[in-house]
Amino acid sequence: MHSTPHKLQNTARSFSFVFLLGLLAGVVTRLSDFFPYEGSLWSFASIATLFGFWMVTVTLVICFSSSNGNAALNVFLYLFGMTLAFYGLQYVLGLFLPRFSQVSFQWSLFAMYTVFSLVCAVISFVLYFWNRGGLAGSLLYALPVAGLAAETLGTGAYLYVHHMLLFQFLFDLAGALAFGVCFYRRAARKGPYLVTVAVVALIGYFLFYRPF
């Protein structure tokens, strides 16, 4: 598949741009900790602890990439930049604010999420095959939508019971609907696409979100 001007290219400038986006995402999500969490209907503090924000942004990175390898490297740079900024800013803030104080830089979590970034890069390499169309492409299109749908169910249930996470519920719902409609139009096999979204979303909800 030939790259087009609106796609991210295999250039130092393009990769630097994606890395800077990751740094910005890490800063924003860390600063969201200044918002209250407990008892707050509109709390922003948990945006980084849920997966919806990352599923939406990583999916966008894949969509704007120009090849499988380009998508994998872009996703790694984005998530690694986020991880670096997230824990680096926590350490810096901890020098001045007790609520962020740690004994030292959280190397274990930093290493764990760096490995997670590599795993997501491999997944992104596979997901980019959705551009080939056919049944396989339709099934791949369904996966990020199903993930967002599962978290929408989870945050919706939590909102109903605890009267919290309204922002996260609306964000997940908007992401699921936007990608759901967009990828439905792109999917060559509409039926398998819809079935996969429904089945994977329910499995994800009952296996991961329902226990919490």
Segment holding 16, helix H or strand E: helix 12-31
- What would the pLDDT profile of 45-86 be if each residue is shown by its tens digit? 667 778 999 999 999 999 999 999 999 999 999 999 999 999
> Residue 65 gets which letter from DSSP?
B
The Cα–Cα gap between 109 and 75 comes to 19
Q: What pLDDT is recorded for position 165?
A: 86
Dmax of the chain from CA atoms? 55
List all residues 6 or more positions away from 108 whose beta carbon is below 8 Å from its beta carbon.
Answer: none
pLDDT of residue 103: 63
Contact (Cβ atoms closer than 8 angstroms) between residue 183 and residue 193: yes
d(Cα 168, Cα 183) in Å, to the nearest integer?
A: 22
Coil, strand, or helix at residue 8? strand
In 64-106, which ranges are continuous DSSP H helix?
A: 68-94
Per-residue pLDDT of the chain (212 residues; tens, 9 = 90+): 344 557 999 999 999 999 999 999 999 988 887 776 666 677 766 677 789 999 999 999 999 999 999 999 999 999 999 999 999 998 888 888 877 776 678 899 999 999 999 999 999 999 999 999 999 999 999 999 999 999 999 999 999 998 888 888 999 999 999 999 999 999 999 999 999 999 999 999 999 998 87
Say how far residue 152 (Cα) sits from the centre of its chain: 13
